[in-house]
Structure 1
Amino acid sequence: MSMVEYQDDVSSRAWQHDSAQRLIAGYGVIVASFFDVGCSRSLPWEQRPQAAALLAAITDPDRPFDALMVGEFERAFCAGQFEVLLPLLDEHGIQVWLPEAGGPIDPADPVHQALVLMLGHQSQREILRSRFRTTAAMQVQARDQGRHLGGRPPCGYRLVDAGPHPNAAHARWGRRLHRLDPDPETALTVRWMFAQRLAGCSVAGIARTLNAMAVAPPSAHDRARNPHRSGAAWTVRTVAAILANPRYTGRQVWNRQGIDHHETRPGDKTSRPPGRKPSHHWNQRDQWVISTVVVHPPLVSEQDFLRAQQIKALDVPDYGNPHRYRLTGLVICGLCRRRLEGQWVHGRAGYRCRHGYTSGSDVQPDRAKTLYLREEHVLEQARIQFAHLIDLDPHALAPDDLAGQLRQRQITIVCTPVSITLDVGADSPVEPPTSPRLAVSPGDTTSPAGEKEAPIEGADETPK
């Protein structure tokens, strides 16, 4: 029995025992029973505790049995497992009795051979069929019914009763549906976060403010559902995940995450690499399933949510700092594809990329060296390339005009320690008319002399 959460092991064991008892009535008696609980049929017998014990008993010359009765083929075998075990059983003189065959299996009988092959494929097909049916049903339930399909509610919401289960049998058993409803303690915090983002605040700035205000992070507010998290403080990743969650618009969203079973043969767990387990991954947005209507109270309008996804940090910080970064949001790291953050060093505007490292994470010895670029160098190379692109005199482009033109045309600047190139969205960035390796001087690819991490003024962290 594999589905422990949905089956009664006492009942399952009993009906399979009765099936075997009927099969051998008048021929013998059952002297031992081997029954695995919580093990998938696709696992080889050696990896199932009771099945492995049975294999060991078969090789014992003093065993008290000479035949093997199976309560149901599909509970014991999957795909070609029976054919693999058959030589071992023949070697030790063990007959196999199957209810589907009405008695013992004769390995030399073509009919029995065909039956075993069919049962093996049918057992494997049941796994794939169950996966498909479950996935297809959940897709319809999320898209057409907007049903909450389980899991922790997002920060800012709580689960409330949504009426009886639509399945009449489940409803009679007392099962109820649930839906999302604003949490009176955390919904205001989520609304405030979206308002701050729309005002141009950086994700890191929002996290710092929440920590300074001693606002409990989601894992601290709901410890029962988050025992695996510390709940110590807000992080940039937590804030970014909330701001990117479309469920705050009032629509149900399913399949943002998928499961990779790592099976070279779908449905056959034995085809996984040794030691590999199923893992979750983030799906592309075109794979998300979104409800066609609003099904729970929104915490942000759809228009504001879409705007928040495109917000970049203010090029002039709103706290009065006069430092100005003309290329905020336009400079992309060619090594990790993150946006570079503004940094004012030695009286000049610049940009840096720490390749995902923040003050809240440990430094890895193999981490790529921090990329530093002076704004004037980036502007100069970008101006030459953009002028070449539109057939214009480079000296006719003012820095502010250049930044505006790049934003209007959605052109970004891809930088590495040795090159600066414009990315116009084609298969490859536009090459400059002069040598592309004229990008930055060696002294500008590392931190300013004597400083490992220069103080950031008006910097922004915008996660990729």
Structure 2
Amino acid sequence: MSGKQSDDLEDPLTQWLNSQPQSGPPPSAQRRCGLRFAFYGRMSTVEHQDRVTSRHWQRNCATELVDGHGMIVTEYFDVGCSRRRGWRQRPRAAALLAALDDPDRGFDAIVVGEYERAFSANQLQHLAPVLEQHGVQLWLPETDGPVDHHDPTHQALIMMLGAQSKREVQRARFRVIMAMRAQAREQGRYLGGRPPYGYRLVDAGPHPNAAHARWGRRLRRLEPDPATAGHVRWMFAQRLAGRSLASIARGLNDAGTPCPSGVDRDRNPHRRGDQWTLRTVAAILSNPRYTGRQVWNRQPAHTDSSRLQREPTRRNPTTDWVVSKQRAHTPLVSEQHFVATQAVRCHRTADDGTMRSYLFTGLLHCGACGRKMESHWVNQRPGYRCRHGRTSTQRPTDHRHKIFYIREDNIIARLADHPGLALDAWRPHELAAFLHRNKITVVCDHENCTLTTGRSNPINS
């Protein structure tokens, strides 16, 4: 008995359904109609959508649209792509565009199951000239057939669909963000992401949404990790004792303490995970979640994982952070000690054990190139220099400026005669505090020091 005969015997219902009279034109009539279609579909997320279901309903809509006009001969379906990404940034859509250049591409038109699945805002308006150049039609259910880009009615409809698609995204985004703000601030809810070093995730009870709870969904919260929480407490204590970030990192490496990416390799496959760095220590010591408060929106969301790996992490302004009103988990440092840690500024110790300090750190800019000048000890005195962007990894050139040095006492002497400052009754520390407080920048060259505000306006009086 052949395999086909065996399948027929095992599935009598399918055999009966296939033997019933079918309404409409036979399949052969469809095949005689000339157009060959490439179906394009898309789904946004992998975790919250089912690929089979999403593809199926889009494909069915497209099949009904082209029924009697041709048949779908190939398929391009993107998974995990937001509609806000242009077609050239979606893998399968980009492949479809590349296929347009092939004279033997095998299809005459493109069909989609729903406008919002394929386009957002004015994406179709930018794509229309490309399709017209290659003589490829675009079929939409909303136009009940091919789109005529020269028809004013179709132009108005496309503009309306684009605006509606953009509005849908913005409305959903606004609702989600406002809900997450409320959950973080009012409930202290853990909203996902990697747990901070020193914590682990534990069960926090059933989900407050009754429907999610019936499906077995649970909340999670942070709990001190017995293996790493002690290292975080030690780091805060060392920083409060006056140790530099580099010194703390060296101490952890010397002790063989696993770094965050080494402890959690599954969430950090893109990192080496072999040692502590200054940036890692700084990130831990500046994270307010160690006070027991839940904090959300510290950094912008990244929709492109490849860009996240290439660029350093950037923080949102503290005014945009959402902090829970109450403690949401066990703190590893008190709020008072955390705030005190943020105020610690360590200065490099000289060979003789004395502490070197600089009054104008961060306030001086080079008059030649505009860069910030760095603190530099000059002839046993505090001073500043600008290397005009040159580092030890670059070969010197004949066309670069010479390194510019200026002593701190010379800066004070120049500012004493500045018409915008009445320095007679001021002390140097009070002068530096005044400049910091008023966000005044000092632009220095070999002859003068000029005061400017944050908008680069010179202060003359």
Q: What TM-score, normalized to structure 1?
A: 0.67
Change (3 A) 1:379 1:322: farther
**How much has 1:192 moved relative to structure 2?**
2.0
Structure 1 residues 269-288: aligned runs within 5 Å: 281-288=314-321
Change (3 A) 1:219 1:17: closer
- SS, match of residue 362 in structure 2: strand
Structure 1 residues 425-440: aligned runs within 5 Å: none
Structure 1 residues 399-438: aligned runs within 5 Å: 402-403=428-429, 418=446
Q: What TM-score, normalized to structure 2?
A: 0.67
Residue 459 (structure 1) aligns with: none
Aligned with residue 350 of structure 1, among 382, 385, 390: 382
The question of 1:233 aligning with 2:275 is answered yes
Q: Which amino acid aligns with 1:147?
A: R
The RMSD of aligned alpha carbons is: 4.8
The question of 1:36 aligning with 2:77 is answered yes
Change (3 A) 1:213 1:404: farther
Change (3 A) 1:332 1:103: closer
> 1:355–1:370: 8 Å Cα contact kept in structure 2?
yes
289-298 vs 98-107, which deviates more? 98-107
Q: Which amino acid aligns with 1:301?
A: S
Residue 456 (structure 1) aligns with: none
Change (3 A) 1:87 1:369: closer
Structure 1 residues 20-419: aligned runs within 5 Å: 20-23=62-65, 27-28=68-69, 30-38=71-79, 39-42=81-84, 51=93, 69-82=111-124, 97-102=139-144, 111-258=153-300, 281-313=314-346, 323-325=354-356, 327-328=357-358, 330-332=360-362, 334-335=364-365, 337=372, 340=375, 348-351=380-383, 363-365=393-395, 389-392=422-425, 402-403=428-429, 418=446
> 2:43–2:54: 8 Å Cα contact kept in structure 1?
no
Q: Which amino acid aligns with 1:306?
A: V
Residue deviations 1:427-462, cap 9 Å, x none? Answer: 7899899xxxxxxxxxxxxxxxxxxxxxxxxxxxxx
- Name the count of aligned residue pairs: 402
Give, in whole Å, the separation in 1 of the partners of 2:234 and 2:419.
39
- SS, match of residue 290 in structure 1: strand
**How much has 1:375 moved relative to structure 2?**
6.0
> 1:382–1:413: 8 Å Cα contact kept in structure 2?
no
300-309 vs 278-287, which deviates more? 278-287
**How much has 1:29 moved relative to structure 2?**
5.6
Residue 44 (structure 2) aligns with: 3
Change (3 A) 1:80 1:187: closer
205-214 vs 405-414, which deviates more? 405-414
Change (3 A) 1:354 1:76: same
Q: Which amino acid aligns with 2:322?
A: V
**How much has 1:181 moved relative to structure 2?**
1.9
- SS, match of residue 336 in structure 2: helix
Change (3 A) 1:93 1:42: same
Name the % identity: 46
**How much has 1:404 moved relative to structure 2?**
7.2
Residue deviations 1:148-175, cap 9 Å, x none? Answer: 2222222222222222233333333333
- SS, match of residue 37 in structure 1: strand
Q: Which amino acid aligns with 1:299?
A: L
> 2:441–2:454: 8 Å Cα contact kept in structure 1?
no
Tell me, which stretches of 5 or more residues in structure 2 are unaligned?
1-41, 305-309, 366-370
- SS, match of residue 281 in structure 2: helix
Change (3 A) 1:205 1:285: same
> 2:386–2:404: 8 Å Cα contact kept in structure 1?
yes
Give, in whole Å, the separation in 1 of the partners of 2:286 and 2:168.
37
> 1:194–1:308: 8 Å Cα contact kept in structure 2?
yes
**How much has 1:210 moved relative to structure 2?**
2.9
- SS, match of residue 233 in structure 1: coil
Q: Which amino acid aligns with 2:73?
A: A
Give, in whole Å, the separation in 2 of the partners of 1:308 and 1:323.
22
Which structure carries more relative contact order (alpha carbon 8 Å, separation 6+)?
A: 1
**How much has 1:78 moved relative to structure 2?**
3.2
**How much has 1:417 moved relative to structure 2?**
6.6
- SS, match of residue 291 in structure 1: strand
Give, in whole Å, the separation in 2 of the partners of 1:33 and 1:189.
56
Give, in whole Å, the separation in 2 of the partners of 1:239 and 1:204.
8
> 1:248–1:300: 8 Å Cα contact kept in structure 2?
yes
**How much has 1:214 moved relative to structure 2?**
3.3
Give, in whole Å, the separation in 1 of the partners of 2:289 and 2:54.
40
Give, in whole Å, the separation in 2 of the partners of 1:422 and 1:196.
40
> 2:206–2:216: 8 Å Cα contact kept in structure 1?
yes
> 1:155–1:242: 8 Å Cα contact kept in structure 2?
yes
79-88 vs 52-61, which deviates more? 52-61
Q: Which amino acid aligns with 2:217?
A: R
> 1:421–1:432: 8 Å Cα contact kept in structure 2?
no
Give, in whole Å, the separation in 2 of the partners of 1:133 and 1:429.
42
**How much has 1:125 moved relative to structure 2?**
2.9
Give, in whole Å, the separation in 1 of the partners of 2:59 and 2:330.
52
Residue deviations 1:392-414, cap 9 Å, x none? Answer: 4x8xx6xxxx5478569967995
> 2:202–2:223: 8 Å Cα contact kept in structure 1?
yes
> 1:159–1:178: 8 Å Cα contact kept in structure 2?
yes
**How much has 1:55 moved relative to structure 2?**
6.4
**How much has 1:352 moved relative to structure 2?**
5.7
